[in-house]
Amino acid sequence: MIGHSASATDPGRRRRRNEDAFVCEPPLYAIADGMGGARAGEIASRLAAAAVREGGGEGGPEERVRTLIQEANARVHQRANEDSSASGMGTTMTVALVEEGRVTIGHVGDSRAYLLRGGVLEQLTDDHSLVGELVRSGKLSPEEAESHPQRSVITRVLGTEPDVDVDTFSVATRPGDVFLLSSDGLSSMVADEAIGSTLGRHRGDLDAAARALVDAANRNGGEDNITVVLFELAARLGDTAELPPAPVGPERADDEDTLSGLDAVPAADEIAVGWDPGADSYEPAAVPGGPRRRRLLVASLVFLALLAAASLLALWGLSRAHFVGAESDGHVAVYQGLPYDVAGVRLYRSVYVSRLLAAQLSQRERRSLFDHDLIGQRSALREVKSLEAEVIP
Ligand code: MG
C-alpha cells in the first residue's frame, strides 16, 4: 500500500514564472513541464495536469495511463490550434499510477521517474531528448550528456501533434520503495548520485526530502523550474517512519570518478601539454648559466610558436566544422564549431535556424540528423532543408 506522498515546486533562480505543474493525488501522480512563448508553457502544463486529474479511463493500468496522456495531449493540441498566442506550446508528461502491487508509468518528454530501492537510485524512464537519444545510440557518454549545451532540447512532447507516442511500463513494487517524479530542473542541476544520497538522508521524512531536492537544485544554479513528487510503498501499516535510512548506492559513484565532464574538452589542451619541449631541458633555476638560460629561452619560444600554430589550426578546424543540433526551443539548427561548452564558453554558433522542430521528426529521422558528426556547412544545410521540404506542409 502507499505510504506517505510529498511534493515541492519552485520557479528556480533564473525564471520568473513556474511552467511546471504536478498531480499528487494518491494513487495517481504526475509531472508536466510546459514550454512555449509568453505564458503558453504554463497553460500547456496546467491543461495536461488537469486532464490527468479528471480522467478516468478503462482497461488495465498501462492502457489507462496511456489514455490519460492521450487525453492530455488532445486538450493541449486543441488549445494550441484555437489560440494563436498558445500556438506551438507543448509539455512533457510523466504519470505514475499505483495499483495492486505495481506502479505503472506513462511517459513523454524529459521529465523523469526514478526508483530508490535498497539505497540504490535507478532512472526508470528514457529521456526523450536530443542527448538522451545520442546516449542510447552510443554517440555520447552519460557524463558528456550531463554537460552538453543542448541537453534541454526535447524530441517528444505533448501538444504539438494530434497523436503522441507514449512509453508505458509497470514496476512490481516492494515495501520500502520510494518513487520520485521530477522535472528536468532537478535532473539538469543535481546528479543522480546526489539525488540518491539526498533521498537516503531524508528517507524518514519525504516532505523534508522534497524540499532538500529543490534546495540542492537551487544551490547548483536553479536554472529552470524545479518540481518533485515523491511517494513510498509502506512496509506495514503505520511503520514507514521506522525504516532505517538506506545506504546510498556505491556502484554509481564509481563511474562518476572514472569519467568527468573534462573528457568533453577537445584536443587543444592535450596539444599544449604534449608539445612542451621545455620539459626535457628544464632544470632547477639554482644553477645559473648563460648557455642554459639561452637554451631555455629558445625552447620557450619554440613552445610558444607551436602553441600559436596549434591554436590557429584549432580555429581553422572550428571554422570548417559544422554539425546539426537544435535550439533550446526545439528548432532544428546548423551550427559552426564543435558541440561542446568549455568552462562555460560555447565552441559553436548557429548559422541557420530552421522552422522545423526536433519533435516533428520521426525517431529515425532524428537519429540520422543529430548524429553528432562534424560535416561541411553545405551538407549540413542540405540535410536540414531536405527534411524541411518533407516535413513542413
Ligand atoms: Mg524544465
The one-character DSSP state at 341 is E
Q: Which residues surround ligand 1, an ion (CB under 5 A)?
A: 33, 183-185, 224
User: Given this model, what pLDDT does residue 365 score?
Assistant: 83
Total domains in the fold of the chain = 2
How many A from CA of 100 to the centre of ligand 1?
A: 32
User: Which stretches of the chain are DSSP H helices?
Assistant: 40-54, 61-82, 130-136, 142-146, 184-187, 192-201, 206-219, 250-258, 268-274, 278-281, 290-320, 363-369, 377-391
> What distances in angstroms separate CA 371 from CA 4, 100, 131, 140, 325, one per listed residue?
43, 42, 10, 10, 9
**178-199 confidence digits (pLDDT tens):** 999 999 999 989 999 999 999 9
**76-102 confidence digits (pLDDT tens):** 999 999 988 888 899 999 999 999 899
Percentage of the residues of the chain whose pLDDT score is greater than 70: 85
Cβ(252)–Cβ(237) below 8 Å: no
CATH number of the domain residue 100 falls in: 3.60.40.10
Angle at 237 between CA 232 and CA 238, to 5 degrees: 80
How many A from CA of 16 to the centre of ligand 1?
A: 13
**277-326 confidence digits (pLDDT tens):** 444 444 444 445 577 888 889 999 999 999 998 888 877 777 788 888 88
- Residue 372 banded pLDDT, cuts 50, 70, 90: low
- Considering just the CA atoms, what is the radius of gyration of the chain in Å? 25
How many A from CA of 275 to the centre of ligand 1?
A: 43
d(CA 97, CA 57): 12
Ramachandran quadrant class, 25 (left: phi over 0; alpha: psi -120 to 50; beta: rest): beta
**293 part of a folded domain:** no
How many A from CA of 186 to the centre of ligand 1?
A: 8
**6 part of a folded domain:** yes
User: Given this model, what pLDDT does residue 253 score?
Assistant: 39
**122-148 confidence digits (pLDDT tens):** 999 999 998 888 888 888 888 888 777
User: Given this model, what pLDDT does residue 313 score?
Assistant: 82
Q: Which three cell numbers stand for residue 71?
A: 487525453
Domain boundary among 233, 261, 295: 233
Range of the domain at 12: 2-233
User: Given this model, what pLDDT does residue 283 score?
Assistant: 43
How many A from CA of 272 to the centre of ligand 1?
A: 38
User: What is this structure's pTM?
Assistant: 0.69
How many A from CA of 183 to the centre of ligand 1?
A: 6
Question: In this structure, are 217 and 324 located in the same domain?
Answer: no
Q: Is a pLDDT exceeding 60 seen at residue 261? A: no
Domain boundary among 184, 203, 233: 233
Question: In this structure, are 223 and 367 located in the same domain?
Answer: no
How many A from CA of 184 to the centre of ligand 1?
A: 5
